[in-house]
Structure 1
Amino acid sequence: MNDTTLSLENSTEDRASLLLISTWTWTAFALLFVALRFYCRLRLIRSTWWDDWLILAAVASTTAMSIIWTIYANGGGCRHAASLTPTQRVNAGRLNWISQPLCVSGLTTCKISVACLILRLQSPTPWRTRLLVVLCTIMVLTNITVVVIMFTQCTPVRMLWDPESAPNGHCIASNVSSTMSQSASSYMAFIDLALAALPVHMIWKLQIKKSKKIAIGVLLSTGVSAFGFAIVKIVELANDANRTDFTWATVWLFVWNAFEINLIIIAACIPTLVPLFEIVWNHRSTTYFSSRRRPTADGDSFPKQSFRMRHRLGSVKSDTESGKDILGVKNSIHGHSEEIRAPRDARDETWQTDTTNRIVSSGKIAITKQWSVVERT
């Protein structure tokens, strides 16, 4: 036994505080923002969509991950492997591997949630929709591959955390899994940049003041900070191949995973909290939003008028982003063609619902997407 092994066996170094404080601080903020998001959706806006439920799945993953890491840290999982008893090493190794698919699922669902939020906010631009679908599909397939390789690299699988239990078992080279994880993380970092850039491009095409464009663009692109954490995590993944001291080597990887997942969750929730900003800054009442919206049978709400609008993605021919054909939209009611007008008492304002963006200005409703409008009976 060499001096290094002796020093590790006698070591009292423990990164448990680092892992627990980092994880639970960020998870608490993520839970708070998700709770505020659902308050806005259920109490104020009274409408939810896929992006809301996906972000709920993401915060559930990160909460479960935090609970597992708490058990892991209390069982000695943040110390040097050589300083642990054989039982502690096995238990720590098992929890270490179990937590990693939760990291992957949390990252995947929160990024898909952001993509769905962009789809909900955008005008019906086919190329942007297809791009997001392709990017997310590749991400899902890549992460599924990572998890499959993760748990098939050793036969039997228990060799991952208890190699002595299967003396006749075998594992592939550890750098194979590590390289695959680094490749997947690099693609995830690219997704962070793409999801930050697309809203800016989308907002910049709107016919609004430049100052508002900048403010909205910054608001929707706060997730770009996650790109920095993703890059650091890629560097840390190089240590993941160190199975001789896996407990000590993977603590920082867990910390960066917690930072990245929870930051994306928080960033994805910020744009949905606009009603709360209205209440705080513009002194709106909590009934202001519901009083201007009347629920429909389809689960959506519209101010003053009740229409069923069927979105025709892929059949858009007008250039909504350049402002053409968005004013004085015609509708067909009982065989008559007439202009949709807002109530006389309606003020200039922008509404965002799950299925439509409408701008009430100068007594007219401008529908920024192409719709089939049918009067409700």
Structure 2
Amino acid sequence: MTALQAAVIGSSWTETAVGLLFYILRLVSTWTFVGRARWDLALVTIAVLFACAGQVFLQLSVNNEMGEQIMGLSEKHRAAALFYGWVFQLLSITASMSGKLAILVFLIQIRGRHEKKPWFLLVLAVLITAINVTVMGTLLGQCVPMAKLWNDSIPGSCEPGRRVNQDFSFFQGSFNALADAALASYPVHLFWKLQMRFRLKIALIVLMGMGWIASACSAVKTYQLQVLSRTSNTTYAQPPLLIWVSTEGWIVIIVGCVPPIRPLVDRLFQQLGFTSNRSSNKNPTRVPYTTSRSGRAYISAGRRPEDNSWVELTAVDRKDDMVPRSRVMVVTDIETMYEQD
């Protein structure tokens, strides 16, 4: 195994393991503190499934000598390495797109009830979907017949499809970097306007700001596309690109999982004795994050709820359904917000 192959396998499987760990923690946190799944969890689940499937094809690509000099490979291994590499990229694009949409839906859900619709987030969701789906089409359609994409010995042509795909891939990579940066920056605007403890605001902004890492990965991946377009030794030149494609996808997934698992981490630290547990109880309060007018706040009888529902920043309800003032803070727009002493 060459150094390039070892780098691809080592980095991608490490990212897969870390990403799955965060995803499992998110599942546990959702079950423990929320009690039911929502669209953001469904989307991040789709992202994880596609990322794991992509990892399998990346391993198959390396098993067929991806990372070796193309002139030293048999036609069979060359075609197989490139085929599995292309499949991996398609699956990773889908995983990254789904992960971005999961973060976006999460932001919409915790945004709460506002007078204006979140048009910026909605337009961004449409653009993310349209641009990433389109690039998959340009990737698959760059050669006629399609099999020439991974087996250059087949009669056919890849022009002008290859140039079109390269140009649009540069645009897609640049847009994804911008979208990740926007999703990382938006929470500053969102959380700063909400009534919550200053420390919690900063924590949320920092956690969601991890999207800047995904933005940097997208930028590096776009640069690697430019490097790859200048060489014919594709099996040797592709590994750095494949590493960054894998990294971008898993970073997006991890960023989408980190904020919702904060209550679980707090509970774990309390049980280990690293933090005080003045207001904890054995049965965690479950509060659904919702923007519906009929959303209800579930309160344990005789107990003040923990601040475990920080992801459910608001729970809107009718005035006649409100719980006693000693347990919530009531504001003029009939919005309940929980705060821990």
For the 8 Å contact 2:23–2:257, the answer to whether it is kept is yes
1:24 aligns with 2:13: yes
In the TM superposition, 1:1-377 aligns within 5 A as 15-125=4-114, 127=116, 129-166=118-155, 168-172=156-160, 174-242=162-230, 244-283=232-271, 287-289=282-284, 292-293=285-286, 309-310=293-294, 345-347=302-304, 349-350=306-307, 351-352=309-310, 356-357=314-315, 362-366=326-330
Deviations 1:252-287 (A, max 9, x none): 111011111111211111111123123222337784
TM-score between both structures, scaled by the size of structure 1: 0.76
User: 1:246: Cα distance to partner?
Assistant: 1.1
User: 1:346: Cα distance to partner?
Assistant: 3.6
Greater Cα offset, 271-280 or 77-86: 271-280
For the 8 Å contact 2:174–2:222, the answer to whether it is kept is yes
- Structure 2: distance between partners of 1:184 and 1:146: 7
For the 8 Å contact 2:109–2:289, the answer to whether it is kept is no
Deviations 1:231-251 (A, max 9, x none): 111110102324621111111
- Matched to 1:210, the amino acid is F
- Matched to 2:18, the amino acid is F
Q: 1:111 to 1:205 in 2, by over 3 A?
A: same
Deviations 1:35-84 (A, max 9, x none): 11111112443121011011111111111111111111111011111111
SS at match of 2:27: helix
Larger radius of gyration: 1
For the 8 Å contact 1:90–1:162, the answer to whether it is kept is yes
- Structure 2: distance between partners of 1:259 and 1:27: 9
After superposition, the CA RMSD in angstroms is 3.1
- Structure 1: distance between partners of 2:331 and 2:45: 30
- Structure 1: distance between partners of 2:121 and 2:234: 36
Q: 1:213 to 1:17 in 2, by over 3 A?
A: same
Q: 1:40 to 1:173 in 2, by over 3 A?
A: closer
User: 1:90: Cα distance to partner?
Assistant: 1.2
SS at match of 2:258: helix
- Matched to 2:330, the amino acid is A
Sequence identity of aligned pairs in percent?
A: 24
- Matched to 1:357, the amino acid is A
Q: Which has the higher strand share?
A: 1
User: 1:361: Cα distance to partner?
Assistant: 5.9
Q: 1:43 to 1:146 in 2, by over 3 A?
A: same
- Structure 2: distance between partners of 1:301 and 1:203: 15
- Structure 1: distance between partners of 2:135 and 2:95: 14
- Matched to 2:246, the amino acid is A
Gapped runs of 5+ residues in structure 1? 1-11, 295-299, 303-307, 312-330, 332-339, 372-377
TM-score between both structures, scaled by the size of structure 2: 0.83
Q: How many residues align?
A: 320
Instruction: Name the structure, 1 or 2, with higher relative contact order (CA <8 Å, separation 6+).
Output: 2
- Structure 2: distance between partners of 1:370 and 1:239: 56
Q: 1:344 to 1:368 in 2, by over 3 A?
A: farther
- Structure 1: distance between partners of 2:10 and 2:150: 26
SS at match of 1:65: helix
SS at match of 1:47: coil
For the 8 Å contact 1:124–1:369, the answer to whether it is kept is no
Greater Cα offset, 48-57 or 208-217: 208-217
